[in-house]
Amino acid sequence: MAEEESLTIAAAEWNQKAGNVLLPALDSVDDLIDLKAQVEAGADLFMVTRGPELIGAYILRVDHLASGPEGVIVAAAGHIDGGGLLAGLLPIIEKQFLGVGRIRAHTNRPGIARQLERAGYKAAEIVLRKTC
């Protein structure tokens, strides 16, 4: 029996491969352009691979608020062993935030919101968007 390859998580500059992985989790290509701009402005992009195969990507940033620094899971997409990337890596992602008092996540997917609630996250706001 072949030995299972372990996951590798590595910081990366914005690239098309990450964009391709993240796009299915977004509403539009415009959202992808916004993610690229956030990474280019200092948000951190991480690529998740198993051997040579890219299996996911996620973007993190820290917002410096009056109440203190808050970690933000900006976007995450991919699959690990048939499950979602976020569910499989959430404990690792949370440990990447050093010195923050809170972590928040952005999603437009009810299933991801339920996973986050099971992990201790609580709804903090509802964001609605209208294209003009």
If one counts every other C-beta atom within 10 angstroms of the C-beta of residue 92, the result is 13
pLDDT given for residue 4 in this prediction: 59
DSSP H or E stretch at residue 8: strand 7-12
* Angle at CA of residue 9, ends 82 and 38, nearest 5°: 100
pLDDT for residue 5 is more than 50:
yes
CA pair distance 44, 25, nearest whole angstrom? 18
Task: Identify the structural domains of the chain with CATH numbers, from first to last.
Answer: 7-118 (3.40.630.30)
Residues of the chain above pLDDT 90, percent: 68
CA pair distance 104, 63, nearest whole angstrom? 10
Global pTM value:
0.90
